[in-house]
Amino acid sequence: MSEERFKNVISHAKEYGFVFQSSEIYDGLAAVYDYGQTGVMLKKNIREYWWQSMVQLHENIVGIDAAIFMHPKTWKASGHVDGFNDPMIDNKDSKKRYRADVLIEEYIEKYVQKIEKEVAKGIKRFGDDFDEEQFRKTNPNVLRSQNKIDEVNDRMKTALEAGDLDGLKQLILDLEIACPISGSKNWTDVRQFNLMYSTQMSATDGESQIYLRPETAQGIFVNYLNVQKTGRMKLPFGIAQTGKAFRNEIIARQFIMRMKEFEQMEMQFFVQPGTEKDWFAYWKDQRIKWHQSLGVAPENYRFHDHVKLAHYANAAVDIEYNFPFGFKEVEGIHSRTDFDLKQHQEFSGKKLQYFDPERNESYVPYVVETSIGLDRMFLVLLTDALKEEDLGEGQTRTVLQLPPALAPYQCAILPLVKKDGLPEMADTIFKKLRLKYNCFYEEKDSIGKRYRRQDAIGTPVCITVDHESLENNDVTLRFRDSMEQRRVKIDEISAILEKEVSMSHLLEKLLD
């Protein structure tokens, strides 16, 4: 069922111009995708909403746009040259390669699901009298699963932290994890693969190896002092950025979930040492509010605390969404201490300190970051919004219930017929509204078919011009979700649209 649903999302994305495989006419390029005419708009609107929520709504957050290429020492300092590896394991029979920690996490997830099933059974059996907290603490089946989860998590954490690749392999063997393709337990040793792409840049003294950035964050760290000084920023303050990142992901699967070229939206928040835990809690709260403002059912989001904290982090949590293939990370919130700035200070030989007038001392600030994948967020919205609705009498419709402000088009203008002056009148409305909104104009096909096409790309409002419009100066507004039709005067359209599709309504939800 879930697999079926995910297949529908992928085929819908292609059929309606959201996402195409890269270089498709050459049979595509694995794990690389292009956004089509509707996809580019949805993506742009998500980016815009994120940007406004960060830069526009916080007087102490500013944006930058750093280059993708950076001095190669950046990646030595950040630890990516030596440590940006994934532990990989191959199944000798299927010849498929997996991330060892992902195989183990999928094993753990089965036990998480077992617990949820037990709880669901309890709710069904005891109804209102059900004490879920007590049940989770005492039910023997739940406790058995929880013990298993804790034991496996502990062993994985120990092995990952010690870089113990043999220990990881042993865990996979002990848990009798089988390859999902071949079903066999015939595994190679676990090996580390670096995820950075490198290329050459000519320099006066020959060629030098440089990297395509695997994250946008470092462009912010190396510009910390530039922004702080020129923007006269006082702690706490943040720097936000959106842009492409590249990772040589060995396992390409699940559509735009894991790509080799993708886009990140990151914000690094610089704070006084000692206040980072409070700011971590603040950003955790702000970010989940942002996600929930988009109308996704709350039970489809969860926090997942990191089992393995990076050596420089003192707190880290993922925001996960319940994709058709299970709960997976969409965003990470990390308290990174002063690790990055200190590293750059050491490798560049330049001081990256802040003079704190209140404390009358200089220090390297601590950092709390929020890091979200734009493509993954796109997939969350597409998956959540795509509905097949039963209209009764054997009729169905496909509708994409995107947040109106993020939809590719905010409205469609449709003359009922292609004659009698209706296209001319519709064109006048179109030319006025497009000064403010991304509008779609269409004359072809029956009005019913046109409504369905707009439903499928998520257009929240259709404006139909008919013969009566010529006499009464009014139109029919048709709303995507309710399919309600309302007759309104032409000079009322703008105010109604503003109420329905403005991004400010989303932003307001963040202020509660």
**Amino acid letter, 47:** R
Element containing residue 476 per DSSP (H, E): strand 474-479
With contacts defined by CB under 6 A, how many residues of the chain interact with ligand ATP?
Answer: 16
Residue closer to ligand ATP by CB (options 213, 258) is: 258
Write the burial class of residue 132 (CB in 10 Å: 0-12 exposed, 13-18 middle, 19+ buried).
exposed
Q: What torsion, rounded to 10 degrees, do the Cα atoms 247, 7, 450, 384 define?
A: -70
CB of 153 to ligand ATP, least distance (A): 16
Q: Which of 46, 61, 259, 501 binds ligand ATP (CB under 6 A)?
A: 259
The pairing of beta strand 461-465 with beta strand 85-90: unpaired
CB of 245 to ligand ATP, least distance (A): 7
- Residue 251 token pair: 């396992």
Using rule CB under 6 A, residue 371 touches ligand ATP: yes
Which listed range, 12-20, 42-50, 370-378, 495-503, lies at the site for ligand ATP (CB under 6 A)? 370-378
Q: List the beta strands (DSSP E) in 358-472.
A: 361-363, 366-373, 386-392, 395-400, 411-415, 439-441, 461-465
Using rule CB under 6 A, residue 313 touches ligand ATP: no
Using rule CB under 6 A, residue 372 touches ligand ATP: yes
SS3 of 396, please? strand
Q: Which of 329, 356, 389, 427 binds ligand ATP (CB under 6 A)?
A: 329
Residue closer to ligand ATP by CB (options 122, 373) is: 373
DSSP 300: G
Write the burial class of residue 460 (CB in 10 Å: 0-12 exposed, 13-18 middle, 19+ buried).
buried
Which listed range, 155-163, 280-288, 324-332, 441-449, lies at the site for ligand ATP (CB under 6 A)? 324-332
Q: Which of 90, 249, 276, 340 binds ligand ATP (CB under 6 A)?
A: 249
The residues that bridge with 304 in the sheet, in sequence order, are 318
- Name the closest residue to ligand ATP (Cβ): 373
Using rule CB under 6 A, residue 268 touches ligand ATP: no
Q: Which of 87, 243, 373, 423 binds ligand ATP (CB under 6 A)?
A: 373
- Residue 298 token pair: 């709350």
CB of 249 to ligand ATP, least distance (A): 5
- Residue 35 token pair: 């956004």
Residue closer to ligand ATP by CB (options 259, 367) is: 259
Using rule CB under 6 A, residue 219 touches ligand ATP: no
Which listed range, 48-56, 134-142, 255-263, 407-415, lies at the site for ligand ATP (CB under 6 A)? 255-263
Residue closer to ligand ATP by CB (options 212, 457) is: 212
Which listed range, 5-13, 34-42, 137-145, 256-264, lies at the site for ligand ATP (CB under 6 A)? 256-264
Listed in sequence order, the residues at least 6 apart from 325 whose beta carbon sits closer than 8 Å to its beta carbon are 2, 3, 6, 254
- Which of 312-320's residues contact partners 24+ apart within 8 Å by CB, and which partners? 312/336, 312/337, 312/339, 312/340, 313/337, 313/339, 314/276, 314/277, 315/276, 315/277, 315/280, 317/284, 319/287, 319/288, 319/291, 319/372
Neighbours of 101 (CB within 10 A): 22
Which listed range, 68-76, 162-170, 254-262, 416-424, lies at the site for ligand ATP (CB under 6 A)? 254-262
Stretch 197-216 residues interacting with ligand ATP (CB under 6 A) = 215
Q: List the beta strands (DSSP E) in 143-260.
A: 191-194, 198-203, 206-211, 237-246
Using rule CB under 6 A, residue 235 touches ligand ATP: no
Using rule CB under 6 A, residue 258 touches ligand ATP: yes
Using rule CB under 6 A, residue 247 touches ligand ATP: yes
Q: Give the interface with ligand ATP as residue ranges (CB under 6 A).
A: 215, 247, 249, 258-259, 262, 264, 329-332, 371-373, 375-376
